[in-house]
Amino acid sequence: MAEQVQDDSKRDFLALSAYVTLGVGTVAGTLGILSSLTPSADVLALASIEVDVAALEPGQAVTVMWRGKPVFIRRRTAAQIDEARGVALGALKDPQTDADRTIEGKEEYLVVVGVCTHLGCVPKGQKDSDVRGDFNGWYCPCHGSHYDISGRIRKGPAPKNLEVPEYAFLSDTNIKIG
């Protein structure tokens, strides 16, 4: 009977290739499943909208839906713009100038996502009859966050300013959001 020769390297190869395949397969499969739960192509396709703001008078505001969220568009009066510019950066929790939050030459229009940066409620202040909070902008009733006329957080639990979405003026009165 021939002497039994042990060549462990073959077994090691089998074990190693099995583990590697299992490992790579598990990771790839898990990533695929997790990724299937992220926003799908049709949701992403709805990701930009166009809004005509020709009818908006100074002092008026409209709310439009974008990506399932409200977007506040406010055409501000000269006095309101002055008020927004007059705030010292030191007084802000999330320091940003009004110029950082508007498009040059179009400072009249403030475009912000109408979702409180605390836990996602829609702040009040779009309607004339709404309470506007201590800083004459928006007020979130859920846990009491006050935003100013530039949409910046001034008081309350919200950590950040109302988000300014990516947007551009296609014409003088046509805004593309997203």
- Least CB distance to ligand FES at residue 150 (A): 17
- CA gap 134, 110 in Å, rounded: 19
11 makes contact, choosing from ligand FES, another protein, none, with CB < 5 to 8 Å by partner type, with: none
Cβ 141 to ligand FES, closest distance in Å? Answer: 8
Minimum separation from the CB atom of position 40 to another protein (A): 7
108 with 75: CB under 8 angstroms?
Answer: yes
Tally of CB atoms within 10 A around 60: 15
62 binds, among ligand FES, another protein, none (CB under 5 to 8 A by kind): none
According to DSSP, the residues that pair with 148 across neighbouring strands are 136
Q: Exactly one of 143, 160, 168, 174 is catalytic; name it.
A: 143
CB of 48 within 8 A of CB of 176?
Answer: yes
Closer residue to ligand FES (CB): 11 or 143: 143
CB nearer to ligand FES: give 144 or 178: 144
Among candidate residues 169, 168, 133, the one with its CA nearest the CA of residue 152: 133
Give the residue among 106, 120, 103, 109 at the shortest CA–CA distance from 61.
109
* Partner that binds at residue 65, options ligand FES, another protein, none, CB closer than 5 to 8 Å by kind: another protein
Where do contacts with ligand FES occur on this chain (CB under 6 A)?
Answer: 116, 118-121, 140, 142-145, 156-158
Annotated catalytic, 146?
A: no
Which of the listed partners (ligand FES, another protein, none) does 102 bind, with a CB threshold of 5 to 8 Å by partner kind? none
Question: How do strand 69-75 and strand 109-113 relate by DSSP bridges?
Answer: antiparallel
List the catalytic residues.
Answer: 143
